[in-house]
Amino acid sequence: MPLLELKDVRTEIRLKRSTVHALDGVSLTVEAGQTLGVVGESGCGKTMTAMSIMQLLPNGGSVTGGEILLDGRNLLELSEAEMAKVRGNDIGMIFQDPMTSLNPTMTIGRQISESVRIHRHAGKTEAHERAVEVLSLVGMPSPERRALDYPHQLSGGMRQRAMIAMALANEPKLLIADEPTTALDVTVQKQILELIDGLKERLGMAVILVTHDLGVIAGSADKIAVMYAGRVVENTNTEALYVNPRHPYTEALFDSLPERGAEADTKLYSIPGLPPDLTNPPTGCRFAARCRYARDTCREQDPQLDGETSEHRYACFFPVGAVEKSAKEIPVTLSEATSSEELPQTSIGAPLLTVQNLVKEYPITAGSILRRKVGAVSAVSDVSFTIYEGETLGLVGESGCGKTTIGKLIVGLEDATSGQIDYADTDLAKDKGARDRYRKQIQLMFQDSYAAMNPRMRVRSVLREPLDIQHVGDKASRDKRINELFDQVGLPRTALERYPHEFSGGQRQRVGLARALTLAPKLIVADEPVSALDVSIQSQVLNLMKELQAEFNLSYLFISHDLSVVRYLSDRIGVMYLGKLVEIGPAESVYANPVHHYTKGLLDTIPVADPAVERAKEDKGIEGELPSAIDPPSGCRFRTRCPAAQSLCAEQEPPLVPFGTNGHLAACHFPLRTAEGAPAPAVTLPNPTIPPATVPAEDTKADADAGA
Amino acid sequence: MTATLEDDVLPPEPTAVELGLDSAEKPRSMFRRGWEVFAENRLALVSLIFLVVFCLFCYLGPVFYHGDAFVSNLDAVDLPPGAGHPLGTDPNGEDVLAQFMHGGQISVNVGVLSGLISAVIGTLYGAVAGYLGGWVDALMMRAMDAMLSIPLIFLLIYLGMVYGHSTTLMVLVIGFTGWFSITRLIRGEAMSIKVRDYVAAARMMGGRGPRVIWKHILPNSIGTTVVNTTFSIAGAIFYLSTLSFIGLGLQAPNVDLGAILNTGTEYVDQGYWWLIYPAAVAIILVILAFNVIGDALRDAFETRLQKR
Amino acid sequence: MTAYLIRRSLQALVTVFLVTIFAFLLLHLLPGGAVRGLAGPKATPLQVKLLAHEMGLDQPLPVQYIKWLGNVLQGDFGYDYTNSQSVGSEIAGTLGQSAYIVGLSLVLAIVISIPVGLLQAVRRNTFLDHTMTVVSFVLWGVPTFLIAFLLQDLFEDQLRWIAPNNEIASFHDAFSSPASILLPVATLTLTTFASYSRYVRSAVLDELTQEYVRTAIAKGASRRRMLYGHVLRNAMIPMITLIGLSLPTLVGGAVIIENVFNIDGIGMLTTSAALQNNFGVTLAATLIAGALTVIGSLIADLSYAALDPRVRLD
């Protein structure tokens, strides 16, 4: 008997004037010791499924049909008191954002022991001991001390570990993880996923992993259920899903992944349109309106979840491979074309903007009366690079690496502490007047366009603002320009009268892009422009950016933490760590032949949507936590987590030197390979100890045998 | 796509519906939407109507009703409501209804004027302090903290003593002391708006301080401003009536409703209820009405920004 | 935390100084000069001259301020010629009653508002919630004097449940006959509790939407544990700041209540002094009230810091 079984579950959420049919007949099973991945985009119902199991639905939500059987017991028939005994005891759950999911005024030890006290009726000391025990189980360094800490004193990864500890304190049979790694850095993400995997084995649990990230699922799940618009559309084991997706939505999802586009060098496929409105679900197959293979049958009848084998089921009348793609195209906007087109090519020209020895420090003040400067956060430390005309330079790194700060420095939102920004023969860092003059030519595109637009201004005014401020043309020409811009980003002109909140996320990003283009800039700094978007929408915006670049010969400084997106769009990639530029070079070169250990670590930890590749990864990735930016490690800043670190690394900062002739540079004393491409000689010496004063206590040292 | 657009080259434009934007109706302006939310609050509508009626009564009443508020008629002292005097007479023989209308006018006049003065001062002070930040802000706020610490009633009593009790001076005194709480709120708004991305975007486009304040900060804090103006009007009427009641506000012949109560309550034991309850009820209802409207406005402004 | 303690205390100190400066400036607004006002209408010209010299009116303003401040800090607020006693002692005699009434009302208001606000939040949008909201609204909006008057009218005159009280001339009186204190305290409590319970309601509602509440239930916590152990705890901490901020209004309310119920507190003193055009007493009372509320606010903020770990551990 499966551990958990969902049979035809229906969930509704009653709003003031309408009802959202969040789940419409969801059936799933999970066996003990197995990980079920539930994947889909926002609004598909994956989180609602998790909430329905736990009976944690929001106000107005209720399960209106079906059964949820845990070990044969129907959870829906339990009273609230009985369900409370199940939660935290038989089923544990962890959430996406550990910062807000933990009570900020209670120590984490107390929050964990609370769980123990509720279910095992343990006394205070006993519960606390158990809390410390569980904390060490989840790999928290110095568990006794951490148990007395408050959530805001811990890093993101540690907070998530605390949450896991809380969920597992009573050794539940099932762990539900709702987007557990989305709010974390990539390197920490890998640690947490492995932790969950390891715990699953040790405790013999089952795990439901809910996520939108196809790469995360590839490495961690045994079986996968793909959800769309409140239903399961495909359900099978992991290999089968990736190798042989049957449902058109699954196939379309894979096609939208930047990884696929980067390899084939083609435009990304984007799924046209938007998911259906669940207050008024369409008849027939819910994906029909956006499906490449849709026929009339699809719009009239509901496909059931079925398949040739019970192992691989899908809900589609015309699954992948069964029919030819329909010749009749559904009307789409300009940038939502099909995937087989070639990418528009840009020619890369002369250097446009050069950053030299750029430094930015944020002072920290303390003191009771007068605030004295007691230290500084080193956000950007001696960074130099060049952006060429027509190229896209991608800047990647994890949180705190300084990439966003560099973006702000370049557009002039912050003043550099020292260094130069050379543009058109002037130093923008020093010459404020020049900065004003060249403002038109360097523009910024924000991550969250909603926050970046005045909510009380109609979009027309939002687009007009740059023109107004810079006194470009007259009213008539400004309006004309705005209309043109909207056409170029593929939005209807009638939408100009709307307010920002009326647009969807992807559309807002387009408006943001349009605004960035208003002044006809030469360089656009795009700070995480697609990070908040679903994969299928991401591809729309990325395609658009590519097209506009070709048309206007734009340069982009593309800042992101997402390596696969960066790789798709960039000509060259720069990798940053803790304020330093550790590697930079042509995208393919950096990707295929990284020189710096951090780059390699990053590449290894990024989940790839290919189970075979994921399984083959033996490397444990990058261990340890990010050191403090206030007191960064001496010499090479990465040495505290680097498998190849030596004493030299602590004494001398490695310079950025070329590796090969294609402009690939890296800063490392003991790189992964030499300039000629051959791997560096293996280091056989064990790591000599590094002076403890500069090593944070929580750090884990890598094994001595790790070398090149 | 090229820079010049020719109609026959463009594929059909996607309809707004396909793109998920609302149906083809012209988007309602934010004002209309705000009004709709306001109107949903029936209590607020009732309050609004009440205020309108009350004002009409007090301002237009004397045109139709010819009782004399200021003429002493010592033959007709302390009469209960009856013929010729719908609300009776007071100890001086003056007609209470006429007094009431007159008092109502004054209460509302002073209240609204002082409320507006407070709002203007408070908004400007708060916006400047919030936007500028730094030591300017610190100084301004310390000064305000000091003034906020002194219970308002003491200040009003003292200033009333110093400057006298004419209507104009009362308006100024109450107006110039009532702006402290508004400042706090507007400053908070200015500070939080200052760091929003859209302000950064405006700065990055080359926008400067005055433009930012005018186009971004003020419009986005207009909700707070309007709501708190209403509350400050309510507060002004509150304080005025309180002061007059203890005899330290407006005095004869410029009696407002509070002053009417001052004399009226002395006759509680005689049971001359007409000297007390009409004015009391009026004060209560007017203040409540303004408060309810302020509350409803607050809701209206908030939901403007949400999808309905 | 120590840094915060020091910083906050210094802030309070600065504020108090500003209050004194403010009061000093107010003093000099007086027509006929500060001296005339301080001396009072009944002082003889000779007394006025003496006072002028003592205050050093021939000297520049800042020096006068220092001198005046020096006096004030020693408790010397001048001499009240009208009532023939020092202003300081006059005020001191009244502080007790006021403190008693204000303190008692404050405690009662807090104690009542928490369960009411919590109940309202938990039963949001039910009839009970709406009723309580209306009641709070009314209590908050209606002028204090009217509430006082109406209560008095109801309980003393109409129902005759409480005898019309005698003047409470001393602290002792207040203590020994609780009935005489009942209505004044009830009035002040009612008006204060209104804003407190509205705050509790919205604070609890805010906390209820926080994600850690979901985590608590996911752990298996009962609703009760979630409400009291997590939500209420967190919602109460900022309430302390609210209390600090409401002190001026509270003290101000006491002024009115003392007037209506004839209690010899600092409020009554101020109003009667004002009616007699006695600037000295009025100003001194203003100054003291201001200083006391700054201190009260300081205590509130420090307590807040002690309870919120995010502040405590910085």
pLDDT value at residue C56: 61
Same domain, C65 and C142: no
Q: CA C298, C301, C306 angle in degrees (round to 5)?
A: 125
Count of residues making up chain B: 308
Answer yes or no: is C150 within a domain.
yes
A50 vs B36, more confident? A50
Rounded Cα–Cα distance for residues A460 and A498 (Å): 8
Query: By mean pLDDT, which of A401-410, A669-678, B175-184, C89-98 is the weakest?
Result: A669-678
CA distance A408 to chain C (A): 28
Question: Do C156 and C24 share a structural domain?
Answer: no
Same structural domain, C75 and C102: no
Among residues B176, B199, B194, the alpha carbon closest in space to that of B125 is found at B176
For residue B2, the chain A residue with the least C-alpha distance is: A551
Q: What angle do CA A436, A440, A445 make, to 5 degrees?
A: 110
Interface of C with B in 104-143 (CB under 8 A): 137-138, 140-143
> Which of A382-386, A668-672, A690-694, C157-161 bottoms out in mean pLDDT, i.e. has the lowest?
A690-694
Nearest CA in chain A to B222: A456
- Amino acid identity at A648: L
In this structure, is residue C3 part of a structural domain?
no
Contact B160 C274 (CB under 8 A): yes
DSSP β-ladder status, A231-237 and A313-314: antiparallel
Lowest mean pLDDT among A192-196, A550-554, B89-93: B89-93
C165 and C303, same domain (yes or no): yes
The pair of three-digit structure tokens given for residue A485, joined into one six-digit string: 């811009």
Name the 3-class secondary structure at A8.
Answer: strand
Q: What is the β-pairing status of strands A231-237 and A223-228?
A: antiparallel
d(Cα A582, Cα A578) in Å, to the nearest integer? Answer: 10
Q: Which of A323-332, A567-576, C66-75, C166-175 has the highest mean pLDDT?
A: A567-576
Q: What is the pLDDT of residue A322?
A: 61
The whole-number pLDDT of residue C32 equals 59
For residues A702 and A36, the model is more confident at A36
Q: What average pLDDT does range B83-93 have in this prediction?
A: 73
The whole-number pLDDT of residue A368 equals 45
Position C221 pLDDT exceeds 70: yes
Q: Does C228 touch chain A (CB under 8 A)?
A: no
Residue C65 — φ and ψ, nearest 5°? -60, -45
| Neighboring chain A residues of B11 at a CB cutoff of 8 Å | 331, 334
Q: What is the mean pLDDT of residues C171-193?
A: 76
Q: What is the pLDDT of residue A707?
A: 36
Q: Which of C124, C210, C217, C219 to mutate to test the interface with A (most CBs of A within 10 A)?
A: C219
**All structural domains of chain A:** 4-90+172-336 (3.40.50.300), 105-171 (no CATH), 351-592 (3.40.50.300), 594-708 (no CATH)
Rounded average pLDDT over A299-323: 79
Surface-to-core class of residue A151, CB atoms within 10 Å of its CB (0-12 exposed, 13-18 middle, 19+ buried): buried
Provide the pLDDT for residue C110: 92
pLDDT at A663 exceeding the cut of 70: yes
* Binary contact (A84, C217; C-beta < 8 A): yes
C46 pLDDT above the threshold of 50: yes
Residue C4 lies in a domain: no
Q: B237 pLDDT exceeds 60?
A: yes
> Contact A38/A27 with Cβ under 8 angstroms?
no
Which of C63, C88, C113 corresponds to the end of one domain?
A: C88
Query: Mutual orientation of helices C2-27 and B134-149 as an angle, nearest 10°?
Result: 70
Whether residue C222 is contained in a domain is answered as: yes
What's residue A219's pLDDT? 84
Digit-coded pLDDT (tens) for A527-547 = 888 887 888 788 888 888 888
pLDDT at site C35:
66
Q: Chain A partners of B2 at a C-beta cutoff of 8 Å?
A: 551
Contact yes or no for A491/A540 (Cβ under 8 A): no
CB proximity A92 to C under 8 Å: yes
Does the pLDDT of residue A210 top 90, yes or no?
Answer: yes
Does B155 contact C286 at a Cβ distance shorter than 8 Å?
yes
Give the pLDDT score at B11. 33
pLDDT category of residue B8 using cuts at 50, 70 and 90: very low
The reply to whether C125 touches chain A by the CB within 8 Å rule is: no
Q: Is B220 on the interface with A (CB under 8 A)?
A: yes
Distances in Å between the Cα of A423 and the Cα atoms of A393, A438, A519, B206 are 16, 9, 17, 17
Q: What percent of chain C has pLDDT over 90?
A: 6
Distance to chain C for B172, nearest Cα, Å: 15
Residues C109 and C43 in one domain: no
In chain C, the residue whose alpha carbon lies closest to the alpha carbon of A94 is: C215
Minimal Cβ distance to A101: which of C211, C221, C309: C211
pLDDT for res A692: 33
A210 near A221, Cβ under 8 Å?
A: no
| Residue numbers of the domain that contains C286 | 91-313
ipTM for this prediction: 0.79
Q: What is the pTM of this model?
A: 0.77
Q: Are residues C107 and C221 in the same domain?
A: yes
Q: What is the spatial distance between Cα B56 and Cα A669, in angstroms, rounded to a whole number?
A: 87
pLDDT in the model for residue C33? 63
The two tokens of residue A322 are 């069964």
- Give yes or no for B138 touching C (CB within 8 A): no
Contact C278, C40 (CB under 8 A): yes
pLDDT band at A659 (very low <50, low <70, confident <90, very high): confident
Same domain for C300 and C208: yes
| Share of residues in chain A with pLDDT > 70 (%) | 89
Which range, A663-677, C20-34, C81-95, C204-218, has the best average confidence (pLDDT)?
Answer: C204-218
Q: Which CATH architecture has domain B50-61+85-305?
A: Orthogonal Bundle (1.10)
DSSP state string for A317-336: SS-TTTSPPPSSPPP--TT-
Q: Please state the rounded mean pLDDT for residues A616-640.
A: 80
C132 and C39 in a common domain: no
Element containing residue A392 per DSSP (H, E): strand A392-396
pLDDT in tens, A431-446: 777 877 787 888 888 8
pLDDT at A393 over 90: yes
What band does A338 get if pLDDT is binned at 50, 70 and 90? very low
8 Å CB contact of B11 and A451: no
With contacts defined as CB-CB under 8 Å, which chain A residues touch C210? 100
Q: What is the mean pLDDT of residues C7-36?
A: 78
Residues of B in contact with C289 (CB under 8 A): 150-151, 154
Are C83 and C98 in the same domain? no
8 Å CB contact of B306 and A456: no
From C88, C120, C151, the end of a domain falls on C88
Average pLDDT, chain A: 82
C285 and C185 fall within a common domain: yes
Report residue B1's pLDDT band, with 50, 70 and 90 as the boundaries.
Answer: very low
In sequence order, the 6+-apart residues with CB closer than 8 A to the CB of A404 are: A527, A528, A559
Helix, strand, coil percentages (3-state) for chain B, rounded to 5, are 70, 0, 30
User: Is C49's Cβ below 8 Å from some Cβ in A?
Assistant: no
Mean pLDDT of A501-527: 86
Residues C160 and C229 in one domain: yes
Model confidence at B290: pLDDT above 70: yes
Q: Are C207 and C274 in contact (CB under 8 A)?
A: no
The pLDDT score that the predictor gives to residue B30 is 66
Rounded mean pLDDT of chain B?
78
The enclosing H or E element of A232 equals: strand A231-237
- Tell whether the model's pLDDT for residue B165 goes beyond 70: yes
Same domain, C225 and C264: yes
Reported as a pLDDT band with limits 50, 70 and 90, residue A263 is low
Amino acid identity of A703? D
Mean pLDDT of A348-376: 77
Q: Which parts of A439-534 fold into alpha helices (H)? A: 459-469, 475-488, 505-517
Give the model confidence (pLDDT) of A676-692 as tens digits: 555 655 543 333 333 33
Q: Which two tokens stand for residue A481?
A: 């320009």
pLDDT of residue A326: 46
Task: Answer whether residue C5 is part of any domain.
Answer: no
Cα–Cα distance measured from residue B276 to residue B264, given in angstroms and rounded to the nearest whole number: 5
Whether chain A has a CB inside 8 Å of the CB on B209: the answer is no
The pLDDT score that the predictor gives to residue A63 is: 92
- Written as six digits, the tokens of C169 are 């001339």
Overall average pLDDT of the A192-207 stretch: 90
Q: Is B17 a residue whose pLDDT tops 60?
A: no
Residue pair A629/A578 in contact (Cβ under 8 Å)? The answer is yes
**Every domain of chain B and the residues it spans:** 50-61+85-305
Local confidence band at A458 (pLDDT 50, 70, 90 cut-offs): confident
Q: What is the mean pLDDT of residues B168-174?
A: 86
C285, closest residue in chain B (CA to CA)? B154
Q: How many domains does chain C have?
A: 2
pLDDT at A684: 39
CATH of the domain at C207: 1.10.3720.10
Q: Model confidence at B179, in pLDDT bands (50, 70, 90)?
A: confident
Please indicate if any CB of chain C lies within 8 Å of the CB of A105. Answer: yes
The pLDDT assigned to A575 comes to: 94
Last-in-domain residue among C88, C105, C136 = C88
**Averaged confidence pLDDT in chain C:** 80
Contact (CB<8Å) B202/A507: no
Give the CA radius of gyration of chain A: 26
